[in-house]
């Protein structure tokens, strides 16, 4: 019996994972990662080599990031707050090339998202602040890092940004590649 519910998204290789949460009057407990259960539930043999964590304030948008060398699969989750998490398929051989999926991940819903190598990834902070954690299948390689424009009209990500709000972003994310200029896989 698996303690992990796996739901494919519109892009079947991107998965939403929901661990079984055990709770009582003291609080709750869950396994945030178990290699054997991850493999059994997803069929994905992933070796994670690096864990990353970020803290972001409300209305921060990070992404859409990817690496063209030392590509990374990512298992992402939120430990405080809530984000809208997005993956964009950059694999030219995919039936979902150029498509995107998004899901709300929060400390409350305990959801995680598996994003395979070959995808751009980003998130928008919905709560006052959010702590975002992710495991990667390869090491950070700054020379290979690229950024797809978060608001590229060809991709058409529908971000849940409130009307009248300009997302807080760094210079790199503000100058991401347009879809027709972005390196693909």
Does any domain span residue 9? no
State pTM to two decimals.
0.96
Does any domain span residue 72? yes
Does any domain span residue 179? no
110 labelled catalytic: no
Mean pLDDT of the chain: 96
> Residue 96: pLDDT above 70?
yes
Does any domain span residue 136? yes
Helix, strand, coil: what percent of the chain each, to 5?
10, 45, 50
* pLDDT, tens only, 17-70: 999 999 999 999 988 999 999 999 999 999 999 999 999 999 999 999 999 999
Instruction: Choose among 143, 149, 144: nearest CA to 181.
Output: 149
pLDDT tier at 2, thresholds 50, 70, 90: confident
Q: What is the CATH number of the domain that holds 129?
A: 2.60.120.10
Domain, as residue range, for 110: 46-174
Query: Which residue among 66, 110, 121, 134 is the active-site one?
Result: 134
Domain count, the chain: 1
Does any domain span residue 98? yes
Does any domain span residue 104? yes
Does any domain span residue 89? yes
- Please state the rounded mean pLDDT for residues 78-87: 98
pLDDT at site 97 = 98
Query: Which residue among 65, 66, 110, 121 is the active-site one?
Result: 65
């Amino acid at each position: 019996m698996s303690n992990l519910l796996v739901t494919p998204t519109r892009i079947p290789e991107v998965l939403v994972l929901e661990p079984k949460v055990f709770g009582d009057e003291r609080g709750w407990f869950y396994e945030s990662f178990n290699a054997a259960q991850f493999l059994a539930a997803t069929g994905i043999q992933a070796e994670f080599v690096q864990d990353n964590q970020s803290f972001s304030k409300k209305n921060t948008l990070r992404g859409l990031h990817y690496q063209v060398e030392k590509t990374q699969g990512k298992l992402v989750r939120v430990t405080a707050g809530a984000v809208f998490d997005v993956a964009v398929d950059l694999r030219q051989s995919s039936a979902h090339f150029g498509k995107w999926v998004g899901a709300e991940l929060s400390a409350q819903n305990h959801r995680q998202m598996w994003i395979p190598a070959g995808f751009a990834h980003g998130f928008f902070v919905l709560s006052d602040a959010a702590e975002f954690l992710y495991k990667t299948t390869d090491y950070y390689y700054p020379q290979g890092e690229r950024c797809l424009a978060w608001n590229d009209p060809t991709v058409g990500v529908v971000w849940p940004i409130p009307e009248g709000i300009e997302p807080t972003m760094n210079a790199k994310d503000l100058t991401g590649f347009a879809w027709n200029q972005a390196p693909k896989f």
